[in-house]
């Protein structure tokens, strides 16, 4: 069952404010989720995971780089035993994640056999990258494997992955902030916003 803390929200009235954000303000067309809204969604997800994994040690497997901010907040909202590990992948070919065939740049440090694994993702778009990762990790014999994604893009989900935990179902737009980048920029924005087309057109 997909659990989303917010399925209908696509617009926030919150404006980008203060600090490093000011210089990028023009680049953001619309703020979708404010820092406060993200915090509420991540807190709720952490509570769900705490309940679901009560008495079990959970291994949070994070796909670099985009999910690093989400992981840091989510891990701190899970009460109980938590371990974290990281993977880095790169897509074959020029178009990132279009083929779903990925090369492992950095593998997990710990073995996953017999472990309760949650893959932590920033955003599920086509789902092809994740489908491939699930296949790789499943082959290593975990006790269980689930997916926690902060954003779930409302588009044709080619790989039909049903994440157990979803922060927000978001519109099919290119979004940045809270770890998500465009050309390695905007990861440090505390909110998630739609990137202005003028930045990449
Ligand atoms: P896919 O699900 O295989 O299509 O690829 C998902 C990955 O593409 C995510 O983990 C992100 O790294 C990246 N991605 C997809 N949509 C966006 C977006 O709107 N903003 C930033 N990165 C994105
Ligand atoms: Mg990613």
Q: Domain for residue 201, yes or no?
A: no
- Candidate of 30, 88, 122 to mutate for ligand 1, largest count of ligand atoms within 8 Å of Cβ: 122
Cβ-contact 121, 149 below 8 angstroms? yes
Q: Domain for residue 200, yes or no?
A: no
Ligand 1 centroid from CA 89, angstroms: 13
| CA atoms 160, 41, 176, 130: torsion sign | negative
**Per-residue pLDDT tens over the stretch 110-130:** 899 999 999 999 999 888 888
Q: Report how far residue 3's alpha carbon sits from residue 12's, in angstroms, rounded to the nearest whole number.
A: 21
Q: Domain for residue 103, yes or no?
A: yes
- pLDDT: is 120 or 12 the higher one? 120
**Per-residue pLDDT tens over the stretch 35-93:** 999 999 999 999 999 999 999 999 999 999 999 999 999 999 999 999 999 999 886 65
Q: Domain for residue 153, yes or no?
A: yes
Ligand 1 atom index nearest CA of 129: 3
Cβ-contact 32, 193 below 8 angstroms? yes
CATH of the domain at 119: 3.40.50.2020
Cβ neighbours, 10 Å, residue 143: 12
Q: For the chain, what is the total number of helices (H) and then of strands (E)?
A: 3, 10
Whose CA is closest to 83, among 94, 95, 75, 93? 75
What does the angle CA 33 – CA 199 – CA 172 come to, to the nearest 5 degrees? 45
Q: Domain for residue 118, yes or no?
A: yes
Task: Record the tokens describing residue 35, joined without a space.
Answer: 């820092």
**Per-residue pLDDT tens over the stretch 163-196:** 999 999 999 999 999 999 999 999 999 999 999 9
**Per-residue pLDDT tens over the stretch 68-79:** 999 999 999 999
- In sequence order, what DSSP letters do the residues of 57-113 get, joined into one string? -EEEEEEETTTHHHHHHHHTT--S-EEEEEEEEEESSSSTTTS--EEEEE--SS--T
Give the residue numbers spanning the domain of 124.
Answer: 3-195
> What residues pack around ion ligand 2 (CB closer than 5 A)?
63, 66, 122
Ligand 1 atom index nearest CA of 125: 2
pLDDT, average across residues 12-34: 71
């Amino acid at each position: 069952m997909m659990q989303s803390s917010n399925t209908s929200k696509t617009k926030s009235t919150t404006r980008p404010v203060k600090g490093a954000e000011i210089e990028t303000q023009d680049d953001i067309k619309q703020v979708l989720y404010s820092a406060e809204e993200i915090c509420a969604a991540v807190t709720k997800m952490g509570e769900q995971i705490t309940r679901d994994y009560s008495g079990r040690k959970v291994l949070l497997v994070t796909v670099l780089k985009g999910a690093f901010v989400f992981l840091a907040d989510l891990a701190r909202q899970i009460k109980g035993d938590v371990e974290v590990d990281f993977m880095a992948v790169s897509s074959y070919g020029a178009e990132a994640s279009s083929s779903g065939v990925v090369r492992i740049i950095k593998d997990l440090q710990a073995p996953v056999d017999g472990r309760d694994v949650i893959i932590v993702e920033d955003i599920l778009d086509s789902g092809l990258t994740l489908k491939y990762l699930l296949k790789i990790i499943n082959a290593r014999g975990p006790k269980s494997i689930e997916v926690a994604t902060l954003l779930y893009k409302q588009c044709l989900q080619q790989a039909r992955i049903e994440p157990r935990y979803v922060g927000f179902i978001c519109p099919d737009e290119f979004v940045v902030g809270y770890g998500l980048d465009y050309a390695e920029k905007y990861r440090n924005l505390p909110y998630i916003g739609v990137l202005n087309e003028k930045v990449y057109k």
